[in-house]
Amino acid sequence: MNRTIGLRDIRIRTMTVLAAAVLCVLFAAPVRAQGADGSGGAPTVPTPPPPEPSLPSAAPTEPPRQQEAEPEAATRASKAKTLSGATMQSNDSEPTLGPETARATLEASKRYADIADAGGWPRVGKALRPGSKGKAVVALRRRLAAESELSENEASGGRWDDRLTDAVKHFQFRLGLPETGVVSGATLRELNIPATVRSRQLALTAKRLAHKQFPFEQRYVVVNIPAAVVEAVDGDKVIHRYTAIAGEVDHPSPEIVASITAVNINPTWTVPVSIIKNEMEPKIRKDPNYLSRAHIRVLDRRGHEINPRKVDWSKEHSDSYTFRQDRGTQNSLGSLRISMPNKHDVYMHDTPKKKLFARVYRFLSHGCVRVEGVYDLAAWLLEGTPGSPTGRWDQATIMQKIADGERDDVRLAHAVPVIWVYLTGWASADGTVHFRNDIYSMDKEAMLRPGRAEQRYSSYFNIKREVRYQSSGGPS
């Protein structure tokens, strides 16, 4: 059964807020990541964002810490649990994107607009942790109660208790932060972002989704770019969720809808012309042995291999040649590439630089998405595909094929839909609201587009947005 987000069928009119945000919110500048998509030295972690940004535009800088599992969040306590070598982001079974996400997100935007219209939420003035007490703890309780992390009965009192720790951890879970139960760093900054900004993030997400056409089949894959997370969804539930590395600010990962058609085992890498020109040419001129050390062959226009040491790179144009990196452990795509034909020529793949998955800031590629646990994802994609030497494409079989060292392009028996989306604020079907940073400043640009922001968001009460749904069962 196919279900599609679209602009034509059921109409939902929901008021959204943005005028107050335009007038009172200052935007933070994006943090620029540096680094190559496997073409050179390790990327550099960017400068942390300024404190208390009005619009989140950089990844959290609070480092992960070890913590014990709280009783109420036992299922989330294994957030750092590994499955088949992959560090799982969360065990929450609700997908980031489903048939009801746009509807739920619009409704959440209205709720946050109501909070803003009623005066917003209190500011938490300082770092806090278990054992803290006093007025700052009272403010924290009221702040968390505003988003229903605590009940009204729990919204007062100046002492820290276990219930408050649980509420802080759940807030951190919704923001994609390490669940430490401590209010400091990124957690403190996120707590103090105004409700007007949160409402705007939700409204802009709903608008983006309203323009998407995506078939929600039994099985599909979602990449939420600002979260740097990949989800494998089966039967409206997340079966696997993986940490990912997305495009850096200068080379953003695009929003796309495509179909995964094949898994390439032991792929070669054809280096994009932009990387050759901007990153490899200077290295080649400086070091004639650079290409051989990187296991990169140079082919002429007829596909014949040439000796790069015989080319005068100060005179020759590199775009006259094809640069192809041999398969193997040093290959920038790692051992696996997930093929998903699209006009941007981006895809998901393995990487030899697996240590980068441990970073909090993971916007380091040239637009493609690197997946931790990609072998596990490939096995899931290949379920039911014939041609395995062992009868099934499980992870052990894939690893053996990799060890054999030969290139193998395995076509899926059934293509799997995949969507890359840019969601900075969204609500799950169960009503849980999540936020991520506006890493590419898409929210900021949408609000400041000349001649439109003032017209479109001039009044709180004359903003109406339409999101329509289409399903195989007709309007619902």
Alpha helices, DSSP H, located in 287-365: 290-293
Closest by CA to 245, choosing from 229, 265, 267, is: 229
Q: Residue 239 and residue 227: Cα distance in Å, rounded? A: 18
How many C-beta neighbours within 10 Å does residue 293 have?
A: 10
Round to whole Å and give the CA distance between 348 and 362: 15
Establish how many alpha carbons lie within 13 A of residue 108's alpha carbon, considering only the half-sphere containing its beta carbon. 29
Beta strands in 80-209 (DSSP E): 82-83, 86-87
Is residue 2 within 8 Å of residue 469, measured between CB atoms? no
| Side-by-side strand order, sheet with 305-306 | 269-270, 322-325, 296-299, 305-306
User: Which residues are CB-neighbours of 357 under 8 A, at least 6 positions away?
Assistant: 87, 243, 245, 370, 372
**25, 406 contact by CB (below 8 A):** no
How many angstroms separate the CA atoms of 257 and 227, rounded? 18
The backbone region for 405, taken as left when phi is positive above 0, alpha when psi lies in -120 to 50, beta otherwise, is left
Positions marked catalytic: 349, 368
Within 13 Å and on the Cβ side, how many CA atoms surround 257? 11
Residue pair 5/210 in contact (Cβ under 8 Å)? The answer is yes
Structure tokens at 60: 């959290």
Q: Please state, in angstroms and rounded to a whole number, the distance separating the CA atoms of residues 270 and 293.
A: 16
d(CA 3, CA 357): 33
- Ramachandran quadrant class, 55 (left: phi over 0; alpha: psi -120 to 50; beta: rest): beta
Give the closest residue to 15 by CA, choosing from 426, 461, 447. Answer: 461
Residue 93's SS3 state is coil
Nearest CA-CA partner of 407 in 339, 303, 336, 345: 336
Comparing CA positions, the residue from 469, 474, 472 lying closest to residue 102 is 469
- Cβ neighbours of 68 (radius 10 Å): 7
